[in-house]
Structure 1
Amino acid sequence: MSVRYAIYLAPPPDSALWRFGSSVVGYDAETGEDIAPAALAGFTPEEWFEQTHEPRRYGFHGTLKAPFRLAEGADETDLFAALARFAAGHHPFELPPLEVRQIGTFIALVPPAPVPALEDLAADAVEELDALRAPLSEAEIARRKPERLSARQLAYLHRYGYPYVREEFRFHMTLSSALAEPALGRATQALCDAYAASGAHLPVKVEDAALYVQEAPGMRFRILHRAPLGA
């Protein structure tokens, strides 16, 4: 089965944060529609569109449980039910204003400090929904470049299908593809300026866990369902 799902944190679609992130990546995963490329200082719209091909495929989001295929014998009904049970076990919480940061060669929005409620949400998503996840194929493992992972990250890759969980988890909302200097530095400053002007630098209520779906390889992910926290 080629359909993949992911459990992501997606800000409310009417929030300034959602509008900002979706405009930067050029795609609204809530509506499934393209958005005109962001106007960033130092880049033409066409240039910036090229710099965001990777995050545009996934839609603006923060990962809770990375993309996975359903295990044999499981279907979407099972996934909806498991997601509802998982979400019901967590209360809504507030995400503090995020900050634009470089993470290696790409740029993302990150919390200024750890958010315990967010880390608990991600850890439980990884664990509680894992029974529905099909094992990774050899090709999927290879795409994660296991030779570059630490021993613990490699163990998590094989156990949970994703290396950056539990102690390795660092919440982020990606804004660019991998960039080389000097574009990385220029893009970081331009995104800092655009973010400051956007009105998105505000606390955001996290009230649901979003289920994203990718219908076929190469297609963009879109929001299929939002499961309310504490329901």
Structure 2
Amino acid sequence: MRYAICFTPPASDPLSLVAANWLGRNVFSGEMVEPPAVRGLGIHEIAFHTAVPRRYGFHGVLKAPFHLSPDMSEAQLLRDLMRFSGTVPPFRLPRLEIARLGNFYSLQPSAPCEQIQYLASAIVQEFDRFRAPLSEAEIERCDPDGLSAAQFANLHRWGNPYVMEEFRFHMPVTGPVNAVDMPRIEPALRTIFGPVIGELVMVGNVALMIEEGAGGPFRVHSLHPMGKVSARRIA
């Protein structure tokens, strides 16, 4: 079993509902969802291109999946995540946009966001004590020979190459897409997500996600509201 600390909008948020339809699974309930009808794309094609993010559910990772250290408990993790979340004020992301990162597509902020960078870095540092050390097999899966010096150092210090200055917040909506399919996938994503990414997204909670069995799907275990109670009411 693994845990991850992420951001995802509340279950009732329009963005969450659209993402669940596109990915074919609700990250809160774990229930499978019928994919939308998209001109030029068959249901099986959508299922194929969303297979990877469907397993992880709609989210933006803040601390990548980790095994719990043997001397830590889930209760301790929950307690400390609740305490930590109350110390960070809510904020809004810059407008999200469909963006290609390598050969897969994500929703990404259209401008740099210092608050999400700070939040991710703080969580990586604050909760590193909960993370069990990586096994040799896990390190090899990160392809250490293909990493930059900074990414290699991050891998061995924090268990993930893409943290701190190397972090880039994104919410994946496809797995790898080959160049032949990109001209059909990208317009479909703009059609599906266009109506719900015009509004600024409030980052008002931190989600603890849990993997259902080894290699199983992830789901939201709990949402932890950010900021003091009085600040949440104002927001």
**Shift of residue 192, structure 1, vs aligned partner:** 1.2
Paired with 1:29 and 1:49, the residues of 2 have a C-alpha distance of 16
Q: How many percent of aligned residue pairs carry the same amino acid?
A: 41
Partner residue in 2 for 1:217: 214
Q: Look up the SS of the partner of 1:156 in the other structure.
A: helix
**Shift of residue 38, structure 1, vs aligned partner:** 2.9
Partner residue in 2 for 1:230: 227
**Shift of residue 170, structure 1, vs aligned partner:** 0.5
Aligned counterparts, 1:44-83, within 5 A: 44-83=42-81
Structure 2: segments with no counterpart, 5+ residues = 229-235
**Shift of residue 88, structure 1, vs aligned partner:** 1.5
AA aligned opposite 2:87: G
Structure 1: segments with no counterpart, 5+ residues = none
AA aligned opposite 2:105: I
What's the Cα RMSD here? 1.2
Q: Look up the SS of the partner of 2:189 in the other structure.
A: helix
Q: Is the Cα contact below 8 Å between 2:97 and 2:197 reproduced in 1? A: no
Q: Could you list the runs of 4 or more consecutive aligned residues of structure 1 that deviate by over 4 angstroms after TM superposition?
A: none
Partner residue in 2 for 1:26: 24
AA aligned opposite 1:85: R
Paired with 2:196 and 2:188, the residues of 1 have a C-alpha distance of 15
Partner residue in 1 for 2:166: 168
Paired with 2:153 and 2:59, the residues of 1 have a C-alpha distance of 25
**Shift of residue 78, structure 1, vs aligned partner:** 0.9
Q: TM-score, normalised by structure 2?
A: 0.93
**Shift of residue 185, structure 1, vs aligned partner:** 2.7
1:86 pairs with 2:98: no
1:141 pairs with 2:144: no
Aligned length: 228
Q: Look up the SS of the partner of 1:101 in the other structure.
A: strand
Paired with 1:111 and 1:187, the residues of 2 have a C-alpha distance of 20
Paired with 1:77 and 1:92, the residues of 2 have a C-alpha distance of 24
The correspondence for 1:99, drawn from 97, 100, 112, is: 97
Q: Look up the SS of the partner of 1:134 in the other structure.
A: coil
Partner residue in 1 for 2:14: 16
Q: TM-score, normalised by structure 1?
A: 0.95
Partner residue in 2 for 1:204: 201
